[in-house]
Amino acid sequence: MTETTPPVLEARGLGKRYRTRRALADCTLTVPPGRVVGLVGPNGAGKSTLLNLAVGLLRPTEGRISVFGAPPAATPAQMARVGFVAQDAPVYANLTVADHLQLGARLNPGWDAAFASARIAAAGLPMKAKARTLSGGQRAQLALTVAVAKRPSLLILDEPVAALDPLARREFLDSLAEAVAGGGVDGAGGGAEGAGGGANGHGGSGDGPGSDAEGAGGGAGGAVGHAEGAGGRANGHGSGADGTGGGADGAVDHAEGAGGRANVSGGGADGAGADRHADGAGGRANDYGGGAGVGQVGRSQVGCSQVGSSQVGGAGTTRMTVVLSSHLVSDLERVCDHLIILTAARIQAAGAVTELLAAHRAVAGPAATVEDMVLAALAEGGAR
What per-residue confidence (pLDDT) applies to 363? 94
Give tens-digit pLDDT for 152-193.
999 999 998 887 888 888 888 888 888 887 654 443 333 333
Question: What whole-number distance in Å separates Cα of residue 330 and Cα of residue 332?
Answer: 5
Q: Is the Cβ–Cβ distance between 345 and 351 less than 8 Å?
A: no
Instruction: Report residue 312's pLDDT band, with 50, 70 and 90 as the boundaries.
Output: very low
DSSP-derived pairing of the beta strands 154-157 and 185-186: unpaired
Which residues, in sequence order, are CB contacts of 319 under 8 Å at separation 6+? 33, 34, 180, 183, 184, 305, 308, 309, 310, 311, 312
Instruction: Report residue 384's pLDDT band, with 50, 70 and 90 as the boundaries.
Output: low
Which residues, in sequence order, are CB contacts of 151 under 8 Å at separation 6+? 110, 111, 112, 183, 185, 186, 190
Q: Of 174-178, 184-188, 247-251, 315-319, which one has max mean pLDDT?
A: 174-178
What per-residue confidence (pLDDT) applies to 292? 33
- If one counts every other C-beta atom within 10 angstroms of the C-beta of residue 102, the result is 15
Task: Return the SS3 of 26.
Answer: strand
User: Rounded mean pLDDT of 68-80?
Assistant: 93
What per-residue confidence (pLDDT) applies to 318? 64
Give tens-digit pLDDT for 253-278.
333 333 333 333 333 333 333 333 33
Ranges 30-39, 282-291, 370-379: which has the least confidence: 282-291
In the sheet that holds 62-67, the strands lie side by side as 21-31, 9-18, 62-67
User: Rounded mean pLDDT of 293-304?
Assistant: 32
Select the more confidently predicted residue: 297 or 177. Answer: 177
User: Rounded mean pLDDT of 331-357?
Assistant: 92
Instruction: Report residue 56's pLDDT band, with 50, 70 and 90 as the boundaries.
Output: very high
Query: Which element (helix H / strand E) includes 178?
Result: helix 166-181
Ranges 20-29, 92-101, 110-119, 204-213: which has the least confidence: 204-213
Q: Sketch the domain layout of the chain as residue ranges.
A: 9-383
What per-residue confidence (pLDDT) applies to 383? 58
Taken in order 207, 210, 213, 218, the sign of the CA dihedral is positive
Query: Which element (helix H / strand E) includes 351?
Result: strand 346-352
- CATH T-level topology, domain 9-383: Rossmann fold (3.40.50)
Check pLDDT > 70 for residue 328. Answer: yes
Q: Is the Cβ–Cβ distance between 214 and 249 less than 8 Å?
A: no
Give tens-digit pLDDT for 8-18.
999 999 999 99
* pTM recorded for the entire structure: 0.67
Q: What angle do CA 189, 193, 199 make, to 5 degrees?
A: 80
* % of the chain exceeding 90 in pLDDT: 46
| Average pLDDT across the chain, whole number | 72
Select the more confidently predicted residue: 164 or 361. Answer: 361
